[in-house]
Structure 1
């Protein structure tokens, strides 16, 4: 069994969502916390700030040798081993003969006194006091001093097991600056070194880790958490707001040439664009342009020419050309194979000047039989009827003749021949007719020619300006109207190939996409019903 995987934006975000917390964990708990000396300034407040409670003002009246302290303040420090390994005296990065491991400097203040207030282990007491000639005194490296006018607390090189800590309470007073000015934050000076090897020598250069009371992780860990949060938000946004059609199950590369129906062209073009986008990584391309779709009959002819030019023989098929037709192709085409794709809606469209929005089926037949030549005869304006038709062989025209103009069981009624070669020659004085080559041109001419009546694919007509879609017997062009038998103007859309295209060809892959995969959603968007959703897909008849 083999597994395939293709990278896309969502996959990259998902991978980062996994990698970031893993890297953050390794950094925080394996690298950074291997040897980590941390501190917290748990309190730094003026004694005068406490004078809001009864009798608390005694704290502001502290003395030293009978002298009142100037703006006395309290500081509580916590020093801890926040890493995974013990810290010993040799880990402190100070000279060997310097017994002080940590220096805490207070600008504009003098340290008056201090005491160790909490020890996680009683044995830590011996790092702070010593017995000299039977007298208890401060151990070497522990005490207070001044540097450049700033008070300094010196803390000894205390050996700390993992999780061990101690606290120091100090009393300070202002030594410089203006009364009432805010004091600067204490500055810690300390480094620790850890064991290293030739692969991770840089670990030994880790500095003192600041872990103030409001901080729960190191800065790199916070950055990692922020990146993780961003990745999760991006991935969630993609899932919620960037929903794409599912990719084809079997993308195939190559260049696909399309031909045929101008009415079905908008839906097929949209589906082809999505297929090319989804399968672009496999080199799929479907070039589209103004000359791609020239009508059902011309599309079939173009497909036959392509097959003959490729020298296809025997039972082989052409794998890079497809022609789409409204209904079955006219004439004999022994090398072509037809596949029903969907059934589409068509509609009659009329110029606004005609003054009609609804015609009975019999009125439509009488108009195309030239029995009705003025719109006033059907309750409209006194404007002659001018027919704007598609060329003979157009699937839209054929569907009109077969499903609307011909009575059931009777002979097929055909659209009358054109009376002028240019639609602009039609006028307001007498009825006439012209022919055009594509749906877009037909809609434009119907909008421009007074009293014009034409036929079009429904979704295209819905977006056209200055034309009115005509209801037939009061029924609009809807799929439900087709499926319950009330609306007559519809047709099956067929895809023609030259022989059976190879299964691994782009033509076969696109047909699978169009009928069984994401292409079905595109067809629905354009008001077409995919044949795969009908009761008998190979017949593609409404239920």
Structure 2
């Protein structure tokens, strides 16, 4: 389901209840005359009941009623406002407000019963003085009539003023037409407002004014309102199904800017940045955003800032303006010599030493690590490990992971130069040193070379294909984790910086992605890759663990 379809579902889900409310309360619900046929039974249906013969022997006008039947009709104000005489669909001069037709039956008698208040009786009866006596008679609006031609009996009810919730009942006694020899069941009564004379605007009046409505079938809402309610329920169900089972639970970035963004820099920070870039592209699908992610996109921190500097100069960006489409990430601050580059702290990365399992070590003291990387320890047995030669695998000098090792662990002293340019040429029986160009190669080489020791970003080890051959080394018993950095002062960590050439212009693809990475959903991806967030530390400018 497309986002546009979801929007339409949301619009309709809002429109339908509004329409239902207006229909129910502003149109038909404001003035609704309800009726209920609470009883419609033949006297014969009660033949086995006590005193039933009294019903069967009922007489009228000197003759016994034929197939007598009884109808109890309830008339009620089912709307939200008072019903007055002018609301009835009848000519103003007509005293009748409601007409009830009984097909195939004639009316023998009609009785008013159970009005909700006695004042309603005054609409049905009046007192007439005849000589010295006073008697009560039915008003002109309360009448019964029988038509032998179309074989119908009718009763007419007056235009009763009904306050909200008011009601009354009429009991009608009927019989089958004398000439009718059939035994078929009687049709249901037909209740309607009297129409009066026809006028061109009467259809509109019938819609907006009073209409007799059967209420026993929908005591909660009218039939149109029920249709609206079911449509609303269906819309909500479709939208909920789409949200829970179809669409991934992801909010789109606040800004998806058209353009191509080029990324450079740290191989250690690359997995997190790659994942964030892929997520950003998925969220910005259709916005014409591109982020090339080749195998050699990330070449190291030093190469990253060099490439960024070169791109800015080639684009001829004036001083005071910024490059729109390039970002470089570094482990720690870049070296001097790039005056146009502006750093922004993004996250905290934790690094770890890794050794081949054959080395037989899991924990090293800080002095022991410095001796190993200075070349003073050439066999692991010298520091309590197995009798296996040390093979020192370093990153190239442009690596941020290496520079962090030098500054944070080795007290600023660079490891000695390699003894072999190709790590595959190391002699398994002799001490040796080599260099590699990426974190992935570092881990593969260390895992496949007996006695090898290297280093990488901590979370890169667990999910790596060579992890089974590696051991992450603790330093003085301190774990290489974000918690270890914060609580035990684990030393091998660094701030990851994002560099721009000048200040990335507002509305540029570089600024949009950097905002996504530091202020929006990209932060969750950084957390998933084991990085602390600079935006959450006490001093985000320094970005140091608490």
Alignment of 1:109-258 (within 5 A): 115-119=111-115, 121-125=120-124, 142=144, 154-156=154-156, 158-163=158-163, 165-169=167-171, 186=188, 188=190, 190=192, 203=207, 208-212=212-216, 215-224=219-228, 248=254, 254-258=259-263
Q: TM-score, normalised by structure 2?
A: 0.71
The residue aligned with 1:297 is 302
Q: Give the 3-state SS of the residue equivalent to 1:527 in structure 2.
A: coil
Q: Distance in 1 between matches of 2:380 and 2:156?
A: 108
Q: In structure 2, what is the equivalent of residue 493 of structure 1?
A: 496
Asked whether 1:319 is paired with 2:324, we answer yes
Q: Contact 2:319–2:502 (CA<8 Å) still a contact in 1? A: no
The alpha-carbon distance between structure 1 residues 206 and 118, as it changes in their structure 2 partners (threshold 3 A), is closer
Verify: 1:28 aligned to 2:24, yes or no.
yes
1:403 maps to which of 400, 403, 408:
408
Native 8 Å contact 1:42 1:213 kept in 2: no
> What is the match of residue 397 of structure 2?
392
The gaps in structure 1 that reach 5 residues or longer are 1-6, 128-133, 178-182
Alpha-carbon spacing, 1:137–1:508, altered in 2? closer, same or farther (3 Å): closer
Match of residue 455 from structure 1: 455
Once the 2 structures are TM-superposed, how far is the Cα of residue 26 of structure 1 from its aligned partner?
1.6
1:489: how far off?
0.6
CA contact (8 A) 1:99 1:141 kept: no
TM-score by length of 1: 0.71
Deviations 1:380-418, CA, capped at 9 Å, x for gaps: 5555544444333111122122222x23xxx51326526
CA deviations on 1:237-256 (whole Å, 9 max, x unpaired) are: 989x99867965x7755443
- Counterpart position of 2:57: 65
Partners of 1:195 and 1:204 within 8 A in 2 = no
Distance 1:230 1:262, change over 3 A: farther
Counterpart CA distance in 2 for 1:143 and 1:198 is 26
1:345-381 per-position Cα deviation (integer Å, ceiling 9, x unaligned): 1112334454433222233233333444454554455
Query: What residue number does 1:80 align with?
Result: 76
Give, in whole Å, the separation in 1 of the partners of 2:368 and 2:67: 104
Compared CA separation, residues 500 and 114, structure 1 to 2 (3 A): same
Q: Corresponding residue for 2:422?
A: 421
Output the aligned Cα RMSD.
Answer: 5.4
Write the distance in 2 (CA, Å) between the matches of 1:442 and 1:531. 27
Please give the alpha-carbon distance, in whole angstroms, between the structure 2 residues aligned to 1:110 and 1:428.
117
Corresponding position: 1:476 with 2:472: no
